[in-house]
Amino acid sequence: KIVPKGTLNVVTPSLKVSMLLSAVGNVNIIQLGGVVHKKSLSVRGTSPLISMEEFSCSKLFIGADGINEEYGVTNSNLEEAQLNREMMKAASKTIVLVDSSKFSRKGFGRICPLSQIHTVVTDGGIHASTVRMLEEQGVEVIIAE
């Protein structure tokens, strides 16, 4: 459950995130525009890319389809990977939210190398060797319960 201490500004390409956060007090939601991808209910295209140039964010939370040492953070959709890269430029800190099944996998579109992320939040299924590898890359690992 999200309970902001003060006012929280959220910039998102996800219609699902906007809908969930609309019920939370003290949250301002900036919904990026673009072409809606029906399966993920997120926007894509050039409109959200242009919009990101206007923002400066403290934290960026992204999901990924794969994380591995060689390819870094990846996604199965090139447009979404590109939007994630642009969103990273506007953020001071990038936090990747993935379940442990995503490690050692890779998607089609590369988002970034591991050196460009600050934190990974995952579940207890992550292998100790993967935690060590991420920490050696300078990535903080948080295991959510």
Q: Got the DSSP string for 34-102?
A: SEEETTTTEEESHHHHHHHTT--EEEEEE--SEEETTTEEEES-HHHHHHHHHHHHTEEEEEEE--GGG
Given a contact cutoff of 8 angstroms between Cβ atoms, the answer to whether 100 and 107 are in contact is no
Residue type, 37: H
Given a contact cutoff of 8 angstroms between Cβ atoms, the answer to whether 34 and 43 are in contact is yes
| pLDDT for res 74 | 97
| pLDDT for res 2 | 60
CA atoms of 17 and 129, how far apart (whole Å) = 32
CA atoms of 42 and 35, how far apart (whole Å) = 8
| pLDDT for res 103 | 96
| Residue 23: φ, ψ to 5° | -90, -5
In order along its 145 residues, the chain shows pLDDT tens digits of: 566 678 888 888 889 999 998 988 888 998 888 888 888 888 877 766 677 778 888 999 999 999 999 999 999 988 889 989 989 999 999 999 999 999 999 999 999 999 999 999 999 999 999 999 999 999 999 999 8
| pLDDT for res 5 | 78
Sign of CA dihedral 76, 79, 80, 85: positive
CA atoms of 125 and 91, how far apart (whole Å) = 28
CA atoms of 93 and 78, how far apart (whole Å) = 22
| pLDDT for res 1 | 58
Q: What is the pTM of this model?
A: 0.83
Given a contact cutoff of 8 angstroms between Cβ atoms, the answer to whether 69 and 99 are in contact is no
| pLDDT for res 38 | 86
| pLDDT for res 139 | 98
